[in-house]
């Protein structure tokens, strides 16, 4: 018999460090105590409360993995994922705000911005400035690089003209990471990333969309009419915007996966609670096998999606390849969220179809998960291409 080295069992992906547990607990407490009372009101108004936004900043949720030298929290990507998940259990709209700030905007600045740009903007992003990520246009959705927005070199600055659509956080944002083509003849290799302040001349936030779900998370058009942007506000190099966008969106998809896991868990929690309280034929409906089967299947899918999201996030933090895993977790978690929210409505029955209970809102919120930051079809393409490449 061969001698074997005694090894401790590997920790499950969902096992958190004490630091992570404390962080998760603090976000959960905030979401339940401060956020929950206003969710319905904000959804109906289609506006996120400014006082809650301020509390996001006060708690450090808008600069989780921004280094302390720039007045951030000095955390890491996985902590952002935990925060997004906990917020989404209560209100996916709140999770979207924190998600875009951390996994898209801050992440891109940390990796691609100059030292001067970091020193100038990170403290603002940590203190009071909401950020937005402006890539999509009317003619460039899944084909994000078919953009029509143009940036013309004008010496010490660029003049940018065009329109962006479906831009998250735009109503509240003071700073935008915006993509425009500075050399259309070069195709996608002319795309360049710019930091645009809301007050720049020629820049305007336009129509706010009236949406099915995540209604208190703003989604607006941006209008650029000969907007003057200093060359010092080019992020990375001219023509490298496509690379910045692709790499950032890969990480952003893990954030969407986390949103959907939180939403699905929230739906399951509501269904569990209601099933224990609602009585039919003299006993709680939780004692009926049909209801139990629904709850069990929801729980299995939510846990599977969580494992996929956590795995992708841990790979990213470890500096290992994660593109396929990010696409997988975004694709699967968005499906799980939609099914879990639908089943929760059915467990609650008639009241689940009314606005008096939160599952109706979660059902509406879930649909966007299969659309933004790469549709489900685009995730299938990414997964298949990687499989064929590796095979």
Active site residues: 373
Q: Distance between CA atoms of 73 and 126, rounded to whole angstroms?
A: 8
């Amino acid at each position: 018999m061969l001698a074997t080295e005694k090894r401790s069992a590997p920790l499950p992906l969902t096992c958190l460090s004490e630091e992570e547990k404390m962080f998760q607990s603090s976000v959960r407490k905030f979401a339940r105590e401060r956020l929950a009372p206003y969710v319905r009101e904000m959804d109906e108004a289609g506006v996120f409360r400014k006082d809650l936004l301020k509390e996001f900043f006060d708690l450090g949720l808008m600069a989780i993995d921004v280094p302390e030298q720039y007045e951030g929290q000095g955390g890491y990507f996985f902590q952002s994922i935990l925060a997004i998940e906990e917020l989404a259990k209560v209100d996916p709209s709140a999770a979207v705000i924190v998600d875009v700030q951390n996994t898209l905007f801050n992440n891109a600045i940390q990796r691609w911005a100059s030292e001067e740009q970091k020193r100038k903007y990170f403290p603002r992003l940590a203190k009071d400035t909401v950020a937005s990520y402006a890539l999509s246009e009317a003619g460039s959705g899944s084909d994000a690089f078919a953009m029509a927005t143009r940036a013309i070199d004008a010496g010490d600055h660029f003049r940018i003209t065009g329109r962006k659509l479906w831009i998250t956080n735009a109503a509240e944002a003071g700073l935008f990471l915006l993509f425009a083509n500075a050399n259309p003849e070069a195709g996608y290799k002319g795309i360049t990333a710019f930091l645009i302040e809301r007050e720049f001349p020629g820049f305007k936030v336009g129509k706010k969309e009236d949406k099915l779900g995540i209604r208190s998370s703003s989604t607006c058009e941006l209008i650029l009419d000969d907007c003057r942007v200093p060359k010092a506000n080019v992020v990375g190099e001219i023509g490298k915007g496509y690379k910045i966008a692709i790499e950032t969106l890969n990480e952003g998809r893990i954030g969407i996966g986390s949103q959907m896991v939180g939403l699905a868990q929230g739906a399951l929690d509501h269904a569990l609670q209601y099933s224990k309280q609602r009585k039919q034929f003299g006993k709680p409906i939780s004692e009926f096998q049909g209801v139990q089967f629904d709850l069990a299947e929801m729980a299995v899918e939510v846990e599977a999606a969580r494992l996929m999201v956590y795995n992708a996030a841990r790979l990213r933090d470890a500096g290992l390849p994660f593109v396929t895993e990010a696409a997988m977790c975004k694709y699967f978690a968005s499906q799980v969220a939609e099914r879990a929210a639908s089943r929760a409505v059915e467990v609650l029955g008639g009241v689940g179809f009314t606005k008096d209970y939160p599952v109706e809102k979660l059902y509406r919120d879930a649909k966007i998960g299969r659309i933004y930051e790469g549709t489900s079809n685009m995730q299938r393409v990414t997964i298949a291409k990687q499989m064929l490449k590796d095979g």
